[in-house]
Structure 1
Amino acid sequence: MAMFKRILIPSKLFCLSTADYSTKLPGLLSDVSVLDLTRIVAGPFCTMTLGDLGANVIKVESMDGDESRKWGPPFMKGDSNKDSFYFLSVNRNKKSICLDLKSQEGKNVMYDLAKKCDVMVENFLPGKLDKMQVGYERLSQINPKLIYCAITGFGPTGPYANRPGYDVVAAAMGGLLNATGERNGRPAKPGIAITDLTTGLHSFGAIMAALYHRQKTGKGQKIDCNLLSTQISSMINLATVYLNCGIEVQRWGTAHANLVPYQAFETKDGELVIGTGSNAQFADFCRIIKKEELINDERFKDNSDRVKNRDEIIRIISEVIKTKTSKEWSKLFENASFPNGPVNKMKDVFDDEHVIAIGLVKELPHPEVGAVKVVGPPTVYSAGGNYARTAPPTLGQHTKEILSEFLGYDDGKIGGLFNAKVVR
């Protein structure tokens, strides 16, 4: 009996079988097929974003699978492949096929997949797939309309081209770690792989632009995205200030270099971020915390004065904020003109009334453990659909389906590939 899952989406309530789950929800990219040879985070995040929009994402894995499947604990309970929750976080809306690309038979399957796909995304070292005869050089001959996106650590040229690149290395070399951490403290790594994620989003945007270009010209192309360039471009004002003024970056913790107050403050039971981006917001803040005398104080009359006298104004505010709990201040600031919010733990995040109300968390049927929870796509489209459709696949879960239904291989050919251990 097919498992049924009620799926709540804006304005409609669907009741679909697991088999229909990925096909009945609309998607802006439902006519696009993606060949996904990515692992870890940056590439999978890019292809998951395409999948959220309805693209048919075929995740081609080695016989051992994406390395991040083993990035635990924690692992999924009851999963015979022991997939990590790390893997689950960036691989929904995909179908998995295991393929031996070292064999000629495996290469032939890859060529057949490339003929039928619109996009390919990979994150191997530059030139590695070309040496295996399954890179852009070969696949663009097979399918000139193919949009081929390569995600690397440092790009295909330059002295670092052949270095392996991970998020924290690019964050270090690109200036992010040096800009992150407490004042006068050591550099700090952000709590998530933010360089990977931003590179994945740049790749996604580049692929969308290339699809638009192909629609006009009928031509595919190669896209190169890399972690280091993405990270350096993400330094925005810090990079521009250095390039034009020669001013080096300082670490400010949660504070802002150019706005005061704009940081986390200790409350009676936690921490609360408060930001005032204008004099009007600062005045509103002072009135609510009953410190109206600060509004016309010569030391704090405008932002440049507050920046100059940062330590004193922060000391005064800190003494006040410590007198109430985070919840009490949040209630007082409910209709304030300035932005504010508590520093939440994950429990607080998912217990938040707003997060619950917008239905950001989705529960998806899974063949091994019944169901898994994921954070759904953050962007809402008025038309087209952007949904978490299917749970991340188990290793090789869709090998037979892809060979049969997508490529049209007969049972004899499929059996031969399994017997030769070309596929799993």
Structure 2
Amino acid sequence: MDWEDDVNTAEKIVGLKERNGPLKGVTVLDITRVVAGPFCSMLFADLGATVIKVEHPGEPDYARTFPPFVGNDDEQLSAFFTQFNRNKRGITLNLKSDDGKALLKKLVQKADILVENFRPGTMDKLGLSYEVLRELNPKLVYTAISGFGRTGPNSSKPAYDNTGQAAGGLWSMNGYADMPPVRVGTIIGDLAASLYAAIGTLAALREAEKTGVGQVVDVSQQDSVLTLTENAVVRYTAQKEVASPLGNDHPFVRPYGQFPCKDGYVFFGGYTDKFWAITCALFGEPEMARDPVIDTMEKRFDLIVAETRVKPLLERWFSHYTKAELEEMAGDKIPLSAIKTIAEVVEDPHIAARNMIVDVPIAGKLIGMFGLPIKLSGAGQMSFEKAPLPGEDNAEVLSRLADVTAAELARLKASGAI
């Protein structure tokens, strides 16, 4: 593609109502579904990229069927889907049809990034492998998210979030010591893989901008979850110690966990000698910091001492106060935080000050959703647009980026290609 072609492409993409942000001018083809992939491309869209969500015309992203729903009987839309697909444009392509494949190839020529989360080998079977697409656009960054990655003996296995939690070791570590392991209470495998994919994609994009050569970004849920296991790997490789569920305990610091109070629970992590002395003084018993049984961090870590001396002391102190009162007392002196429900988090003034609950349009209403945790000092006020309906932007995107005429658009729709 020469300079004149670049200018023409830029003009066409500007016509697609570019978003503002540091990724303005970057075009992303998002052929992912559910969360491991849509979350990654949502981050790009929030940061200003033009993200084009590609769905099958007859089988759109089934996350559209996930509750909660907003709207009336005539229009029920998924807030779950909207949260991960806001700020995107939407088209439909049947990638099993010749016309659908041809259209994707045309779009690839104008794109910077393609993100897919099919099982490895699927795009090859469709004739849309990276090797094929890079012939059309050598600068293309091709990001592939899967359960086990594109290489290795397990690469072709189907996977879900729970697969990543199980195969990555995290599931075996979570829960209580006297009970079976418990999955982490969110789709941490999908989310972690999406975050790593976003980091890898931006690194590859910078390389492509410098060299003119794109590459594959290969991210697996198992790999991503493995990196979330904190000290478990080195505990095993260094000492052959296998991490197991600890409940709310920590493997090498105490007190550091959940403690009851008057109206719920708080996290308290004042395990250092400095924080312990401040805590004792704060609760009116400064002499406890000099108690020879619990006066050092090493002594307080001892399990028997922690259970028989430290824990009862903290529970006695905390039992007289509510979560809010304890947070007020702690201030910026000691690490103590209320263990909040989602309702309390959404209503938290600090969360509001950080703009972490944002209003996103859906079915004629504004619904609060999590915002973007990446705060850039040079960024202006961020706006949030609704998620697209299936194929909502077919006419505009395909006419501008694939030179499809109105007559051709009608034919493609009638044939089921879009």
One fold, TM greater than 0.5? yes
Once the two structures are superposed, residues 368-401 of structure 1 have per-residue CA deviations (whole angstroms, 9 ceiling, x without a partner) of 3333322210111112458353122222221222
Distance (Å, rounded) in 2 between the aligned partners of 1:54 and 1:380: 13
Structure 2 counterparts to residues 30-41 of structure 1, below 5 A: 30-41=24-35
The whole-number CA distance in structure 2 between the counterparts of 1:49 and 1:235 is 24
Q: Does residue 359 in structure 1 map to residue 355 in structure 2?
A: yes
1:210-265 Cα offsets, whole Å, 9 max, x none, are: 01111221101111100001111221312112111111213222222211111111
Q: What runs of 5+ residues in structure 1 fail to find an aligned partner?
A: 1-19
8 Å contact kept, 1:81–1:395: no
Question: CA–CA distance in 1 between the matches of 2:281 and 2:244?
Answer: 31
Task: Within 5 Å, give how 1:400-415 maps onto structure 2.
Answer: 400-415=395-410
2:330 corresponding residue in structure 1: 333
Is the alpha carbon distance of 1:62 and 1:80 closer, same or farther for their aligned partners in structure 2, counting shifts above 3 Å? Answer: farther
The residue number in structure 1 matching 2:207 is: 213
- The structural deviation recorded for 1:209 is 0.6
Q: d(CA) in 1 for partners of 2:137 and 2:395?
A: 23
Alignment partner for residue 286 of structure 2, among 282, 286, 292? 292
CA change 1:178–1:282 in 2 (3 A) is: same
- Counterpart of 1:90? 84
Counterpart in the other structure of 1:7: none
- Does 2:321 align with 1:324? yes
Matched-pair contact (CA < 8 Å) for 1:60–1:99: yes
Residue 415 (structure 1) shift? 1.7
> Higher mean Cα deviation, 311-320 or 260-269?
311-320
For residues 66 and 242 of structure 1, the distance between their equivalents in structure 2, rounded to whole angstroms, comes to 40
Equivalent residue runs for 1:58-207 within 5 Å: 58-63=52-57, 64-72=59-67, 74-78=68-72, 82-207=76-201
Residue 214 to residue 79, structure 1, CA distance change in 2 (3 Å)? farther
1:334 and 1:371 map into 2 onto residues whose CA distance is 34
Q: Please name the residue that 1:393 is paired with.
A: 388
Counterparts of 1:208 and 1:245, CA distance in 2: 37
Q: One-letter code of the match for 2:376? A: Y
C-alpha spacing 1:248/1:270, structure 2 compared with 1 (3 Å): same
For the residue of structure 2 that corresponds to 1:42, the secondary structure is: coil
Alpha-carbon distance between aligned partners in 2 of 1:102 and 1:151, rounded to the nearest angstrom: 20
Give me the CA root mean square deviation.
1.9
Letter matched to residue 105 of structure 2? Y
Task: Work out the CA distance in 1 between the residues paired with 2:205 and 2:371.
Answer: 24
Match of 1:315 among 312, 317, 324: 312
Greater displacement, 243-252 / 81-90: 81-90
User: Contact conserved, 2:18 with 2:50, CA < 8 A, in 1?
Assistant: no
Q: Report the CA distance shift for 1:84/1:181 in structure 2 as closer, same or farther (over 3 A).
A: same
Cα distance in structure 2, aligned partners of 1:222 and 1:146:
9
* Matched letter for residue 416 of structure 1: R
Are residues 1:346 and 2:342 paired?
yes
Equivalent position amino acid for 1:314 in 2: K
SS of the residue corresponding to residue 372 of structure 1 reads strand
**Whole-angstrom CA distance in 2 between matches of 1:81 and 1:100:** 25
Counterpart of 1:48?
Answer: 42
Aligned residues of 2:204 and 2:214 also touching (Cα < 8 A): yes
1:9-51 Cα deviation digits (max 9, x unpaired): xxxxxxxxxxx9x947521111110010111112111111111
Name the residue aligned to 1:376.
371
In the alignment, is the contact (CA less than 8 A) between 1:79 and 1:369 conserved in 2?
A: no
Q: Return closer, same or farther for 1:34/1:422 CA change in 2, 3 Å cut-off.
A: same
Q: 1:261 aligns with which of 230, 255, 265?
A: 255
Give the match for residue 11 of structure 2. Answer: none
Task: Measure, in 2, the Cα distance between the counterparts of 1:171 and 1:332.
Answer: 38
Q: Distance in 2 between matches of 1:290 and 1:248?
A: 41
Shift of 1:299: 2.3
Partner-residue secondary structure (3-state), 2:42: helix
- Please give the per-residue CA displacement for 1:330-369, whole angstroms capped at 9, x wherever unaligned: 2211242x21111111111111121223332221334x33
Q: Is the 8 A contact 1:372 1:391 kept in 2?
A: no
- What is the DSSP-based 3-state SS (H/G/I as helix, E as strand, rest coil) of the residue aligned with 2:37? helix
Partner Cα separation in structure 1 for residue 74 and residue 93 of structure 2: 20
Q: Which residue is equivalent to 1:8?
A: none
Q: Percent identity?
A: 31
Alignment of 1:231-310 (within 5 A): 231-308=225-302, 309-310=305-306
